[in-house]
Structure formats: C-alpha cells, structure tokens
Structure 1
Amino acid sequence: MRTAATATDGTGAPESRHRTASHNPGYVHGYSDRETRRLTDQAETLAALLHAGTAYPAGSRVLEAGCGVGAQTAHLAASSPGAHITAIDVSAASLARARERLAARPHAATVHWQQADLTDPPYPDASFDHLFVCFVLEHLPDPARALAGLRRVLRPGGSITVIEGDHGSAFFHPDSAHARAAVGHQVRLQAAAGGNALLGREVQPLLAAAGYADVTVRPRTVYADATRPGLVDGFTRNTFIAMIASVRDDALAAGLTTKAEWDRGIRDLRRTAEEGGTFHYTFFKGTAVNPLE
C-alpha cells in the first residue's frame, strides 16, 4: 500500500546496477504531497500492529528495499538503535522526502540512502544481515525475481521480513456493491500497471519459491469501528479510502466506471467510517532466513 521499486524501475541503476529513474511507472498511487501524507498516516496508525517484533541488533546491517518517503524507515530506525540501515528506492524525490523526515526525528540508527535497483542490488554478495520489504512486492511485475535478487545480498543465516496487504481481505458494514466495485477498480488498475493488490495471500509461496527457508507468515488484522476512532481516521479514512479515491481519474479514463457510479462507491465507503460503520483489512507479515550453505 505504498511506494515501491519495480523490476523495470528497480530503484536505480544506469545500464545495469545504477540505472537512475525519477519515478516508478508501476506505482499506481502516484507521488503527490497527498500520497505522502497518506503514507505517513498509514505508517503512524499501523506502527504497533505491523512492526511489533521487528527490531535489529546494534551493529547489524539492514537493507530496506523500496523505502519510499521513509514512512516505515522512521519506525525501523527508532526500534533498532545502533543498527546500520541502508534504504533504497527508485524515486529521487521520495528519497529526498525520506531524508527530510528522518532529519526531523530523533533516532539512534545510522541510515544511508541510495537510489538502487532492488531486483539487482548494487552490493556484494552477503552484504546485509537483515532485509526489510514493506508494501513493495505488490507493485512488482515479478516479485519472486525481486526476492531472489535480494537474497543474493543477504548473508547465509540472515533474515528477511516482508509485509504486504491484500485488498481481497477488505470487508465492511454497511456492505455496498458500489463500494466493492470501487475497490475492484483499484485492483484492476494496479494489475494493469504490473502489480497485484491481492498479493498478501502469496507471501509464503513467494518466499519459498525464492529459496528462503523457515518461512512463517502471520496475519495482522485491522478492525475499526466507532470505539476505535484512531483507526477509523488513520486507517479507514486516511489510508484505505484515500487510496481508493486517488485512482478516480484513472478509473474513469479506463472506462471502468461512470462518475455517478464512482461517486456512489466512494460515498458508500465513507459511510463505513461513520457512526455504525465497521471496516476490516488484513496485512500479512512474513519472516524467513537465507539458508546456511
């Protein structure tokens, strides 16, 4: 549910490993200030849910692949004092925002930023002790290839953590065919861009196919209703509905819907964040290791 580096854009690399790129053509949500705010709301709202259990020892070398605007990097740096984090992304503009974000926040980890291709990272084999990949694979045309490329730079015995959402897990009250259709339009647009908004359910087989061992995947579920106003605002309104609403023009241009149908769908989605409404979504967090040779 955030910025990522695709297999074609990677996160950089002129001619092989350092082809530079200013944007990610597979990132369906765009690179606006509004999207930056949405990513920030998402990260702040879901920090405890998604990052519980993720902390890296002092001195360890960590690669965050597809760091975007640094929304997740900030939490990694705060929870892993003394770690050495390398954060890579395709977008120079996103990296600049990420630097600004962490410069304004106290953290004890060392963070190095680089524009680099996550499908063929510009680092020697076994350069890192840990990999962190959050909301990235869903935007890639070949996530298994990306995971395999990342495994090359992970030392034997090192760990990988992958977090992805799955739009098929979104259900809500009051139910609405129009609202479900709006979500479906976003799924189709992401697929047309080479991604997969239903990827969460594939985290385990993807990690296994890429050669990782000891793969464990667990659901991290968000449930929001009137008794949880922070989640209603931070997730239902400002993360999920904002994400769906952002593809309006693309959905209309692609002929997937009409203005009236789209407006009805978004209106019904917003109803789930009002009194009496409920909203459910599941993220999938996977961990694995690079097998010892």
Structure 2
Amino acid sequence: MDTTYVHGYTAPEARRLGDQADTLAGLLHAGTAYPAGSRVLEVGCGVGAQTVHLVARSPGAHLTAVDVSEDSLDQARRRVPGVEFRQADLFALDGEWDHLFVCFVLEHLPEPEKALAHLQTLLRPGGTITVIEGDHGSAFFHPRSEHAQAAIDCLVRLQADAGGDGLLGRRLYPLLADAGFDDVRVEPRTVYADASKPELVTGFTRDTFTAMVEGVGETAVANGLICEADWARGIRDLYRTTREYGAFHYTFFKATARRTPGGAS
C-alpha cells in the first residue's frame, strides 16, 4: 500500500490530529459505540487521536488498532495505554472482526476501492464498518477570499499528486456500495464556527483546518503551485475567518455499512 501522507509526520501534525479529534469528538463519534466483548479493528490509527475516543465510548470492546508507521504507533501507545497496537499494511491484514473503524484513511490511498474490498473480507458476516472522511470542497467561509481558496486548492492538488483525494467524502456511498457492502448509509456531519462558538473557532477553524492547509505551504510553493506572496495572503485570509465577524463551514461524511450475510470472503 502507498503510505504517502501529504501532511507529513511532524510534531505539529501530531498535535493537529489530537486537536482535531478532541474538538470534533462529539460530532464524529456520536452514534458509534461497540458492545462489550466485540472485536473491533481500527484501521490507520496514526498517533491514536481517534483511538482515545473509541475506547471512551466502548470501554468493554476488544480494540486492536493498526498503522503502517511505527513512529506514529509509539505515540499512540503513550497516548492510549491498554490498547493492542500493531504495525501492519492495510492489505496485509487478516483475521475476522465484528466491527471496523476507518477514519481519515481512504483519502490518502491511491485505490480506496480495493482497500474497502479487502476490508470487507475481514468482517464476519453481518459485521459493520464505519468510515469517516472530510471533503475539502465543502469549505466555505466569510470573509470571502480568492487567495484563501487558492491555498485550499493547493492542498487538494498536492493530495491528488500523492495519489489521494481530498474530496473523497462525497464518494463514500458509491465506494462502499461498489465494494459489496450492504445497508450503506452516509450522513453529513457539519462544522460551523463563528464568534458565538469560540471553542470551534479555536479548535477547528484555527488549529485543525487552517493549520492543515498552512502545513503544506512550503511544498506548494516549491512545486510551483502558487507564489510565496499569494500563499502568505491566502493563509492570512484563512486566519481572518477566526476573527470577530468571521465564519467557517466544513462537512465531514460518516458512513456505516454491513458485510452481506453469506457474502463471499
């Protein structure tokens, strides 16, 4: 599996992932709780930012979390003691599980269809998968700024160049259906932040989304996608949305599906 991660494995990125998970825990994890004794596999756990919330909501489940990066797993083990963490490539995974949880992983893969088809073979008949992805095309904000939009577009282009898709959220239904899953359901989970919601302005608009875009600036300029002055203006304008009369909107997509009972393995 291609392990290119457009955001990199830096300490600031690890902090951003933690800020994002903590700020959005109620939004993204609402409705996700696994029965005591069930076997749950988190695919692509990274630094354990989402693992914390899986454990909190399903304390009696048997959770195993895997990732390709041993450095990320070391951080995850420190963040969430007591969870079984393993280094593994998605396509090398085997075993049989009651539930799968996949968050912010498919957007980085060159062939998410094949990944989902393989993941289906890991589920017991009737077992469930939960997939969460963002969609950078859902970002809109006030004050409007062509420079800010250009900076976001650079991130989308860099992710595409790395084999991923920053607009994957809108594709979850066809991806899961084409992979053979049954009972596919997709819900938008929308973040809207303005001065009346300061915790979201700080935790999401500033420390999650803007930090994510800002983190690819050096690469965007080096690759000739944008000039340094325009990039700086775009980032300034994104930060401007966090001020008194600014507003920011973004949509995540959360999908659930089942492995068809009696489906081929």
- TM-score category by the smaller chain? over 0.9
Are 1:92 and 2:70 counterparts? yes
Paired amino acid for 1:114: R
Q: Partner residue of 1:249?
A: 218
User: How big is the shift at 1:82?
Assistant: 1.2
User: How big is the shift at 1:132?
Assistant: 0.3
Q: Partner residue of 2:9?
A: 31
Q: Partner residue of 2:91?
A: 119
- Deviation per CA, 1:145-170: give whole Å up to 9, x if none: 00111111110000000000000000
- Deviation per CA, 1:47-71: give whole Å up to 9, x if none: 0000000000010000100000000
Unmatched runs of 5 consecutive residues or more in structure 2 = none
Q: Decide which of 191, 195, 216 is 1:222's aligned counterpart.
A: 191
Q: How does 1:115-154 map to 2 (within 5 A)?
A: 115-121=87-93, 123-124=94-95, 127-154=96-123
Q: Partner residue of 2:52?
A: 74
Cα distance in 2 for partners of 1:148, 1:112 equals 24
Which TM-score applies when normalising by structure 2?
A: 0.98
Q: Partner residue of 1:196?
A: 165
Paired amino acid for 2:66: I
User: How big is the shift at 1:117?
Assistant: 1.5
Structure 1 outlier segments of 4+, above 4 Å:
none
Cα distance in 2 for partners of 1:253, 1:263 equals 14
User: How big is the shift at 1:39?
Assistant: 0.3
Q: Decide which of 145, 149, 173 is 1:176's aligned counterpart.
A: 145
Paired amino acid for 1:128: W
Q: Partner residue of 1:284?
A: 253
Q: Decide which of 25, 35, 53 is 1:57's aligned counterpart.
A: 35
- Deviation per CA, 1:142-194: give whole Å up to 9, x if none: 00100111111110000000000000000000000000000000000000001
User: How big is the shift at 1:118?
Assistant: 1.1
- Deviation per CA, 1:251-288: give whole Å up to 9, x if none: 01100111110000000010001110000000000000
Cα distance in 1 for partners of 2:15, 2:33 equals 25
Q: Tell me the secondary structure at the aligned position of residue 73 of structure 2.
A: helix
Q: Tell me the secondary structure at the aligned position of residue 261 of structure 2.
A: coil
The root-mean-square deviation of aligned C-alpha atoms, in Å, is 0.7
Paired amino acid for 1:255: G
Paired amino acid for 1:261: D
Are 1:163 and 2:132 counterparts? yes
Are 1:234 and 2:203 counterparts? yes
Give the helix-richer structure, 1 or 2. 2
User: How big is the shift at 1:119?
Assistant: 2.4
Cα distance in 1 for partners of 2:218, 2:193 equals 28
Question: Do the aligned partners of 1:120 and 1:150 also contact (CA within 8 Å) in 2?
Answer: no
Q: Tell me the secondary structure at the aligned position of residue 119 of structure 1.
A: helix
Paired amino acid for 2:57: S
Q: Tell me the secondary structure at the aligned position of residue 131 of structure 2.
A: strand
Unmatched runs of 5 consecutive residues or more in structure 1 = 1-6, 9-23, 104-109
User: How big is the shift at 1:84?
Assistant: 0.5
How many correspondences in the alignment? 262
User: How big is the shift at 1:204?
Assistant: 0.5
Matched-pair identity in %: 65
Question: Do the aligned partners of 1:120 and 1:149 also contact (CA within 8 Å) in 2?
Answer: no
Cα distance in 2 for partners of 1:168, 1:56 equals 31
Q: How does 1:205-220 map to 2 (within 5 A)?
A: 205-220=174-189
